[in-house]
Chain A
């Protein structure tokens, strides 16, 4: 990510202009224009972004034996095998549900948290620091932690609920999709909160105080102020939060892998987890799943940018 940032301004502001006038007047290294500056980033993008994608697409059209030997081209066989898989439809539906539920819950809760942290109250600094904890801890560790808390025989949650009389016998929370999905969503929201809250908090802090003052003078109520001023002015930060969360949650792997491995069967798998399960039986089919996954992320982002009028907002 940080490598891409310098590229766009450089190429936009100097690239075309510099090149037009360059050939006649400049020689030597100077004639290269901005190339030396952007070359490392371009190289890096090629090496770590473009090349793997090309390789991925190529693999999805190969016939690879389970021992790892390439046996020639498979055409679209691996794609039809993937689409024919009885788990595929369920996996897709759950991926959408998972993404929507986790992202909306994260955004709503973060909005409230950011609002809270934007107020002055004693101990605010400590509270803000505390929020970083789930972010600082590795996602995998958090997921494993929750997995043990939810364990049927040794889990603290079962013990607690039994003692409180909420359930009459300990439950295998992660053993069936019906209870495993909600718990994994809780964990996913939990680990997404810090980043989102801080993004929104930063957004809140850029709203100038005098706008609120003007609203107060005009006699606006607090709800009116919130919907009329805070929310619209928070829009850029909110969009950043939504886009990054969408991609993160859609691609989320460690939580599900650590807690259920997508099982039983593929009943708790999203497309990313399903891709990993397919790796055990057919690496090319797994690559086909990856390509589909990649396509969905691209579409998701494009649709979202279109709907939200992202560019308009940024240029303004």
Chain B
């Protein structure tokens, strides 16, 4: 009796182990008429989950192309990178992927070029700056999907209480306005400076642009510890952190905290993107938008951020992918997505529609910044590593010796660039 139990147990165990081992490779790309689409979730609640959007697009597409099927897999932002990594490692590569970065996949030769999977008509429709940002060594691989630009948001009520007439244009005016807000007690946090891991690479670049600094020089070499960048952090520490005009620990404060504080009327001003418009409206904050202040005057070109679509060539479904992408980038679909999340378009016809329809007055300052937007070095295959390193420790430049912190980052960036 006991033995039978043991044998049964062993068999069950072996089966369980066998099953787990097989769990990884279901749903591979064997069927050539089924496209596997993996996309990031932009929604923050069930009612606006991106799954809804993609399921609808897939259904419409299948109606027009009876022989094709689209399998949709929407993954939240926190997990999409590691899940995609696992898919690639286990050889279970998606056909189409929509996420934050693309160049690392180019380095491993996983992607189709954009002109291989887009019709000329679709390709010409992209706003030039974005198409350009999708290039690696002159060939476009990354297909822009949505974008945003950054501007300064300020709370009009707090500014009024503190007696500030105009939004600041230079760094000195920022410090001055922040001082007035502090001394009048109009807000807990006069200037919200989030350098925590969530988006340290974004906030850092917005400030560095103001001092004529960037992440790379003209030849594409990293210049993270350039003199201008060290100066930027030294200024921030001396003029905002030490006098207590921003968070006491910017390096551990995330963007979502800063946004939430602004939406709750607790922060005087901060750099933000269009998502903050809705948050501020929900929080009944009377806000204003102005160009981001630079050291000697407002930024002429602000930070632009884009998310990307890419097509994997592993399963060889070039024609099928082309059909789907042409469909997905049609004006109707793009407009629906951009309006769903208050994001900004990357295609010319959608931009024209959104600018002229009159429904998007609040996005106007962000549209204006689009043509001149500056990007991260997205086309560098090492950028994803560099970006992750900046997220992890870049914020520390504000409290320790900035030259040392940025110097270490620079070393890591050079290693990553040598290793791509």
Binding site for B on A (CB under 8 A): 29, 36-37, 39-40, 43-44, 47, 64-71, 81, 86-87, 152-153, 171-172, 174-176, 260-261, 263-267, 277, 279-283
State whether A66 touches B249 (Cβ < 8 A). no
Is B210's CB within 8 Å of the partner chain A?
A: no
B3 located at the interface, meaning its Cβ lies under 8 Å from any Cβ of chain A in the complex: yes
Task: Give Cα A266–Cα B391 distance, bound, in whole angstroms.
Answer: 11
From A37, A69, A260, A263, contact of B89 by CB (8 A): A69
- Shortest Cβ distance from residue B6 to the other chain A in the assembled complex, whole angstroms: 5
Judged by a CB distance under 8 angstroms, whether B248 is at the interface is yes
Question: Could you say which of B2, B188, B251, B399 contacts A153, with CB atoms under 8 Å apart?
Answer: B188
Shortest CB-to-CB span from A279 to chain B, Å, is 8
Contact across chains for A40 and B84 when beta carbons are under 8 A apart: no
A174 to B254, CA, bound (A): 13
Q: Which of A36, A263, A283 contacts B7 (CB 8 A)?
A: A36
Q: A36, B385: Cβ atoms under 8 Å? A: no
| A65-B108 contact in complex given A40-B9, A153-B266, A263-B197, C-beta closer than 8 Å | yes
Looking at the complex, which of B10-18, B211-219, B337-345, B347-355 is the stretch in contact with chain A? B10-18
* CB-CB under 8 A for A172 and B247, given A69-B88, A70-B89: yes
Shortest Cβ distance from A46 into B: residue: B17
Since A69-B88, A71-B108, A263-B392 are in contact, a sample of 9 more A-B pairs with Cβ atoms closer than 8 Å, ordered by chain A residue number, is: A37-B3, A37-B6, A43-B14, A68-B87, A153-B266, A264-B396, A266-B392, A280-B392, A281-B389
Most A Cβ at <10 Å: residue of B82, B249, B261: B249
User: In this assembly, does B180 line the interface, its C-beta being within 8 Å of a C-beta of chain A?
Assistant: no
Q: Which residues of A contact B56 (CB under 8 A)?
A: none
| Alpha-carbon distance A71/B10, docked complex (angstroms) | 38
What's the interface size class on B, roughly?
35 or more
**B residues in contact (CB < 8 Å) with A:** 2-3, 6-7, 9-10, 13-14, 17, 82, 84-89, 104-105, 107-108, 110, 188, 196-197, 247-249, 251-253, 261, 266, 384-385, 388-389, 391-393, 395-396, 399, 408, 415, 420
Evaluate contact between A265 and B104: CB separation under 8 angstroms: no
B104 near A67 (CB under 8 angstroms)?
A: yes
Residues of A within 8 A of B391 (CB): 280
Q: Are A281 and B108 in contact (CB under 8 A)?
A: no
Shortest Cβ distance from residue B402 to the other chain A in the assembled complex, whole angstroms: 13
Residue of A36, A37, A66, A68 contacting most chain B CB atoms (<10 Å): A66
The answer to whether residues A66 and B385 also contact, given A86-B408, A263-B251 and a CB cut-off of 8 A, is: yes
Q: What residues of chain A lie closer than 8 Å to B249, measured between beta carbons?
A: 172, 175-176, 264
Chain B CB within 10 A, most for which of A29, A260, A265? A265
For B3, give its contact among A29, A86, A176 (CB under 8 Å): A29
**Nearest-neighbor residue (CB-CB) of A69 within chain B:** B108
**B89 proximity list for chain A (CB < 8 A):** 64, 68-70
Residue of A nearest to B4 (CB): A36
| B388 with A68: CB separation less than 8 A | no
Say yes or no: A43-B17 contact (C-beta < 8 A), given A67-B104, A69-B110, A153-B188: yes
Smallest beta-carbon distance A273→chain B, Å? 12
Are A67 and B13 within 8 A (Cβ)? no
28 A-B pairs (CB sep. < 8 Å) = A29-B3, A36-B6, A40-B6, A40-B13, A43-B13, A43-B17, A64-B89, A66-B104, A67-B110, A69-B88, A69-B108, A81-B415, A86-B408, A152-B248, A153-B261, A153-B266, A174-B252, A175-B252, A175-B253, A176-B249, A261-B197, A263-B251, A263-B392, A264-B395, A264-B396, A264-B399, A265-B392, A266-B393
Set A29, A69, A263: member contacting B196, Cβ < 8 A:
A263
Separation of A183 and B138 alpha carbons in the complex (Å): 52
Ranked nearest first, the 3 interchain pairs of A and B with the lowest CB-CB distance are: A175-B249, A68-B85, A264-B251
Known interface pairs A175-B248, A263-B197; A66-B3 also in contact (CB < 8 Å) = no
Q: Which residue of A lies closest to B3 (CB)?
A: A36
Q: Are B385 and A282 touching (Cβ within 8 A)?
A: yes
A36 touches B10 (CB 8 A): yes
Cβ–Cβ contact A44 & B13, under 8 A = yes
Complex: how many Å from CA A197 to CA B196? 38
Across-interface contacts of A66 in B (CB, < 8 A): 85, 104, 384-385, 388
For B244, the closest partner residue in chain A by CB is A169
- Tell whether, in the assembled complex, residue B252 and residue A264 are in contact, meaning their CB atoms are under 8 Å apart: yes
Chain A residues, CB < 8 A from B389 = 281
CA distance A279 to B251 in the complex (A): 20
| Chain A hits for B420, CB < 8 A | 65
Question: Once the chains are docked, how many angstroms separate the CA of A282 from the CA of B252?
Answer: 22
Q: Within the complex, what minimum Cβ distance (angstroms) separates B385 from chain A?
A: 5
The answer to whether B85 and A67 touch across the interface, beta carbons within 8 angstroms, is yes
B259 to chain A, nearest CB (A): 13
- Residue of B with least CB distance to A265: B393
- A283 CB contacts on chain B under 8 angstroms: 85
Report the nearest B residue to A173, measured CB to CB.
B249
